[in-house]
Amino acid sequence: MTTGTTKATKRLHVITWGCQMNVYDSARMQDVLAPLGYAAADGPEGADMVILNTCHIRDKAAEKVFSELGRLRALKDAKAAAGGRMILAVAGCVAQAEGAEIVARAPYVDVVLGPQTYHRLPEMVARASRAAGAVIETEFPAEDKFDFLPDQSAAPGPTAFLTVQEGCDKFCSFCVVPYTRGAEQSRPLGAVLAEARRLVAAGAREITLLGQNVNAWHGAPGGLAELIKQLAGINGLARIRYTTSHPRDMDDALIAAHGDVPQLMPFLHLPVQSGSDRVLAAMNRRHTAADYLRLVERLRAARPDLALSSDFIVGHPGETAADFAATLDLVRAVGFAQAYSFKYSPRPGTPAAAAPSQVAEAEKDARLQALQALLRAQQGAFNADCVGRTVDVLFTGPGRHPGQIAGRSPWLQPVHAAAPATLIGRIAPVKIVAANPNSLSATLVHEEHLPA
Ligand code: 5AD
Ligand code: SF4
C-alpha cells in the first residue's frame, strides 16, 4: 500500500507519552491516516485531529491525560466557533485501561482506542465524523493489526524502531502491561525482515527491535537469536539492538548471539527490578538475584565489552530496609552503565496495588535517592572509562552547538563531536576526549572527516 499520492488536506497532531513502542505506534497511526488526507501538524492549534497516545505504567497517568484534554477542549471549541471540527482521540494504554470512563469524564472526546485497534482508526474517524457521540474500541480484535497497517511511510533516519513483539504473559505483581497490551504476540519472521529491509533501503543504519518482552519473540523456530542472525544478513544494516527483555527469556542461543553477531551492539537493557529474593518472589518475577548475576556473567563471557542497563522499583509492597540493601548489593555486584529507577506506584487492578504493607512515601523517596546516587556514580564511572578510547559512533543529527554533530556509541551513550554534517547517517571512529554525566565529547579520528 502506498500513501504518497494522497493529497494532504487535513492537519493531524499526535502527542506521545511513554515508551519507545508508543513512539513507533504514533508513527504508524499517522501512516494509517495519511490516505484520508491527514498530514503532520507541529502543534494542536487549529488541527483537524489530535491524538493523545498515552502511557499507564506509573504515576497519575490518567490525570495527566485529563488535564491535557482540558487544554485541548479550548482549542476544539475555538475551531468549532470558526466553523471547523477538531476530532479528539485518546489512544494507548490509558485508553485501554479506562475505556468508556474517559468519555464519561470528558464527553467532548470523539474516539477512544486501545493499542490493538490502530488499523481500524480510519473507520473510527469516519464514524466520528458522521455522527455525534464517541467511538470506543478497546477490545482485543481477532485480526492482527500488522496485517492491516500500511508500510511505514516516513523516512526513518539513521536509527529506526521496529515492533516485533507485543504484550506480556508474565504478570509481574506491579505491572499493568499484561492488561493494557494483552497477551504475548510475535510478528512472523517474514514480515519483520520485510519491514527491516524497507527501513534499511530508506536509510536506517541501526534498528532497535521493540517488544514488551522482546526476547520472548517466537515468530520463527530459534527465537530472537534466529531473527537477529537473519537481520545481520541485510546489507547496510550496521547495528542491531533489542529492548525490553525479561531475564527468564534469555536463552542459550540469544546469549551466544551476543558473541557471534558483530552487528548486535554490546549494550543490553535487562530489567531486574530488585535484588531481594523475597521481593522478587512477591513481584512474581520468577528469578532470583543469583539467577540474574549468573546470567550477567554468561553474557559477559560471550561478549566481554557488554554494558548493562536495568529497571528498578523501590518500595514494592513489603520491601524492608534489608530488602532494599540487597538491591544496592546487586547493583554493586553488576556495575551498570545506566539504569532507570522508579518509586513503586500502585496501578489499579494489579495484585500489588491491593497488597497490605504498602511502603510509606517518605521511605520510597529516601530509597530512590540512595539507589539513584549509586547508579549515577556507576554511570559516571562507565563514561569516564571511555575517555581516551577510540569508538565507532553512528551520527544521527546536529549537535547542541554550531559545527557539532551528535550520535550514539555502541553502548548507546550520546556522543558530540565537531564534524561535518555530511557524516550524519554514517559511522565514524572518534576519540573520546571528555565524559559528561549523560554524554561524551569526542574528536574525529580521520583527518579527511575534519571540517574544512
Ligand atoms: N510502579 C513503578 N514502576 C513500574 N514499572 C512498571 N510498573 C511500575 C509500577 N507500578 C517500571 C518497571 C518496568 C518499567 C518499564 O517501569 O521497572 O520495567
Ligand atoms: Fe510488566 Fe513484568 Fe511483563 Fe515487564 S515482564 S511488561 S514488568 S508484567
pLDDT band at 405 (very low <50, low <70, confident <90, very high): very high
Instruction: Quick: pLDDT tens for 409-444.
Output: 999 999 999 999 999 999 999 999 999 988 999 999
In 3D space, the residue among 351, 439, 320, 445 whose CA is nearest the CA of residue 389 turns out to be: 445
Residues 170 and 283 both lie in one domain: yes
Residues 162 and 199 both lie in one domain: yes
Of all atoms in ligand 1, which is nearest to the CA of residue 271? 18
Of 384, 400, 418, the domain-final residue = 384
Residues 95 and 175 both lie in one domain: no
Residue 150 falls within a domain, yes or no?
A: no
Instruction: Quick: pLDDT tens for 308-355.
Output: 999 999 999 999 999 999 999 999 999 999 999 999 999 989 999 999
Residues 159 and 116 both lie in one domain: no
Beta-bridge partners for 373: none
Average pLDDT over residues 387-393: 97
Q: Tell me the C-alpha distance between 130 and 300, whole Å.
A: 58
Of 245 and 400, which is predicted with more confidence? 245
Residue 208 falls within a domain, yes or no?
A: yes
Domain holding 415, by residue range, is 390-449
Asked if 355 contacts 173 with a C-beta cutoff of 8 angstroms, the reply is: yes
Give ∠ CA 292-297-300 in degrees, rounded to 5: 125
DSSP label at 253?
H
Residues 223 and 303 both lie in one domain: yes
- DSSP H/E element including 135: strand 135-137
Residues 78 and 211 both lie in one domain: no
pLDDT band at 4 (very low <50, low <70, confident <90, very high): very low
The one-letter code for the residue type at 130 is R
Q: Choose which residue among 57, 292, 310 to substitute to test ligand 1 binding: the one with the highest number of ligand atoms within 8 A of its C-beta.
A: 57
List the grid coordinates of 11. Answer: 492537519
Q: CB neighbours (10 Å) of residue 11? A: 20
The reported pLDDT for the residue numbered 442 is 97
**Cβ neighbours for 446, distance < 8 A, ≥ 6 positions apart:** 428, 429
- HEC letters along 172-195: CCCCCHHHHCCCCEECCHHHHHHH
Of all atoms in ligand 1, which is nearest to the CA of residue 312? 17
- Buried b / exposed e over 182-209, threshold 16 CB at 10 Å, is bebbbbebeebbebbbebbeeebbbbbb
pLDDT band at 219 (very low <50, low <70, confident <90, very high): very high
Residue 124 falls within a domain, yes or no?
A: yes
The reported pLDDT for the residue numbered 49 is 96
pLDDT at 1 over 50: no
DSSP for 156-169, written as a single string: --SEEEEE-EE--S
The reported pLDDT for the residue numbered 446 is 76
Average pLDDT over residues 389-399: 96
CA distances from 73 to 78, 90, 107, 152, 393 (A): 9, 13, 10, 31, 44
Instruction: Give me ligand 2 centre to Cα 439, in Å.
Output: 29
Average pLDDT over residues 377-384: 97
Average pLDDT over residues 383-387: 97
User: What CATH number does the domain containing 409 carry?
Assistant: 2.40.50.140
Instruction: Give me ligand 1 centre to Cα 273, in Å.
Output: 8
Residue 307 falls within a domain, yes or no?
A: yes
Average pLDDT over residues 352-371: 97
Asked if 218 contacts 188 with a C-beta cutoff of 8 angstroms, the reply is: no
Residue 105 falls within a domain, yes or no?
A: yes
Residues 173 and 85 both lie in one domain: no
Instruction: Among the bound ligands, name the one nearest to the CA of residue 172.
Output: 2
User: What CATH number does the domain containing 100 carry?
Assistant: 3.40.50.12160
Percentage, residues of the chain above pLDDT 90: 82
Q: Tell me the C-alpha distance between 311 and 447, whole Å.
A: 40
Residue 300 falls within a domain, yes or no?
A: yes
Of 330, 356, 384, the domain-final residue = 384
Residues 287 and 339 both lie in one domain: yes
The reported pLDDT for the residue numbered 252 is 98
Residues 130 and 167 both lie in one domain: no
Q: Are strands 427-435 and 440-444 parallel, antiparallel or unpaired?
A: antiparallel
User: What's the pTM value of the predicted model, to 2 decimals?
Assistant: 0.91
The reported pLDDT for the residue numbered 150 is 78
Residue 5 falls within a domain, yes or no?
A: no
pLDDT band at 5 (very low <50, low <70, confident <90, very high): low
Residues 254 and 366 both lie in one domain: yes
Of 137, 167, 199, the domain-final residue = 137
pLDDT at 153 over 70: no
Residue 146 falls within a domain, yes or no?
A: no
Instruction: Quick: pLDDT tens for 282-295.
Output: 999 999 999 999 99
Q: Choose which residue among 19, 180, 311 to substitute to test ligand 1 binding: the one with the highest number of ligand atoms within 8 A of its C-beta.
A: 311
Cis-peptide, bond into residue 9, ω within 30° of zero? no
Instruction: Quick: pLDDT tens for 71-119.
Output: 999 999 999 999 999 999 999 999 998 888 999 999 999 999 999 899 8
Residues 268 and 208 both lie in one domain: yes
In 3D space, the residue among 21, 59, 31, 266 whose CA is nearest the CA of residue 153 turns out to be: 31
Instruction: Quick: pLDDT tens for 157-209.
Output: 899 999 999 999 999 999 999 998 899 999 999 999 999 999 999 999 999 99
| The total number of structural domains that make up the chain | 3
Instruction: Quick: pLDDT tens for 222-277.
Output: 999 999 999 999 999 999 999 999 999 999 999 999 999 999 999 999 999 999 99
The reported pLDDT for the residue numbered 19 is 87
Residues 108 and 199 both lie in one domain: no
Q: Tell me the C-alpha distance between 367 and 364, whole Å.
A: 5
**Cβ neighbours for 261, distance < 8 A, ≥ 6 positions apart:** 228, 229, 232, 240
In 3D space, the residue among 142, 175, 164, 254 whose CA is nearest the CA of residue 209 turns out to be: 164
User: What CATH number does the domain containing 321 carry?
Assistant: 3.80.30.20
Q: Choose which residue among 20, 168, 248 to substitute to test ligand 2 binding: the one with the highest number of ligand atoms within 8 A of its C-beta.
A: 168
